Chains A and B, each alone.
Chain A
Amino acid sequence: PGVQLSITEFYRSS
């Protein structure tokens, strides 16, 4: 259940 978020939604490319 629920939607899996992606890690790239939280942290920017450096």
Chain B
Amino acid sequence: MFELRLVQGSLLKKVLESIKDLVNDANFDCSSTGFSLQAMDSSHVALVALLLRSEGFEHYRCDRNLTMGMNLANMAKMLKCAGNDDIITIKADDGTDTVTFMFESPSQDKISDFEMKLMDIDSEHLGIPEAEYEAIIRMPSAEFARICRDLSSIGDTVVISVTKEGVRFSARGDIGAANIVCRQNATVDKPEDATIIEMQEPVTLTFALRYMNSFTKATPLAEQVTISMSSDLPVVVEYKVAGMGYIRYYLAPKIEE
């Protein structure tokens, strides 16, 4: 059997909100390592990888590896029924085609359980090798979300360019053009407000803003976002999940025709 219990259930609600618009159906892999997922969007332009390590849960039991295929919109509907302060338990028995979500209020005076049908999903799992990135940007996640939102009112694509001067986000469209430059700023009162740019080589890549905006749905999960870029590689946009793991989004670049 498989069972996990998360006292800070709101984390799981936020995780679902960060992936449900990008991916319709996905296989969750349950193993002794943790609860994980890898899925591509329907056009195979972006990929999301989630890992929530078993040690991060208050209780985690996985007798044998299990894959649970779920419709993420339906899963999100069920998790929306959990209160923000609720403790969430996910349970699945071997050989059944359902998963149970149990929500307990902090004072234990309300306990709900929701049963959801699992699905058989034929999904391709990609091997993503570890890579040394030419440029790594760490910045406040809210700032990155703001930049993506602002630039999408100007154009459909963003050019991200990292140089010694900083990181430049540019967009161009029918009404005009926009450039936003963020410089390294490590001398802030709070570390979550810092912008840190590690650059081995200058790098410039172009990406569809529609996907970037979808990634920023993960902003409530983490104060900081990490953007890793190399020429001719997908960008990796990573949000940490409160000491338990991460959500990483991979986005293939656009190239000149």
On whether the beta carbons of A12 and B254 are closer than 8 Å, the reply is: no
The smallest beta-carbon distance between B25 and chain A, in angstroms, is 17
Q: Cβ of B253 < 8 Å from any Cβ of A?
A: yes
Whether A4 lies near B40 (C-beta < 8 A) is no
Q: Bound state CA distance, A8 and B124, in angstroms?
A: 10
Contact with A along B73-115 (1 / 0, CB 8 A): 0000000000000000000000000000000000000000000
- 0/1 string, B156-182, CB within 8 A of A gives 1: 010000000000000000000000000
Interface residues on B, range: 20 to 34
Contact pattern, B 233-257, Cβ under 8 Å of A = 1, otherwise 0: 1100000000000000011111111
A1 to B124, alpha carbons, bound, how many Å?
Answer: 29
Q: Mark A1-14, 1 if CB is under 8 A from B, else 0.
A: 11111111111111
Give CA–CA (A2, B255) in the complex, Å: 5
Closest chain-A Cβ to B248's Cβ sits at a distance in Å of 12
Interface contact B126-A8, CB-CB below 8 Å: yes
Question: A7 touches which one: B157, B252, B254, B255 (CB < 8 A)?
Answer: B252
A1, A5, A9, A12: the one within 8 Å of B127 (CB) = A12
Known contacts A2-B255, A13-B127; A7/B46 CB under 8 A:
yes
Complex-state Cα separation, A11 to B234, whole angstroms: 10
B254 close to A2 (CB less than 8 A): yes
A9 CB contacts on chain B under 8 angstroms: 252
| A7 pairs with B124, CB closer than 8 A | no
The contact string, 1 if C-beta is below 8 Å from chain A, for chain B 5-37, is 000000000000000000000000000000000
Determine if A6 and B233 form an interchain contact, defined as CB atoms under 8 angstroms apart.
no
Which residue numbers of A lie inside 8 Å of B, CB to CB? Answer: 1-14
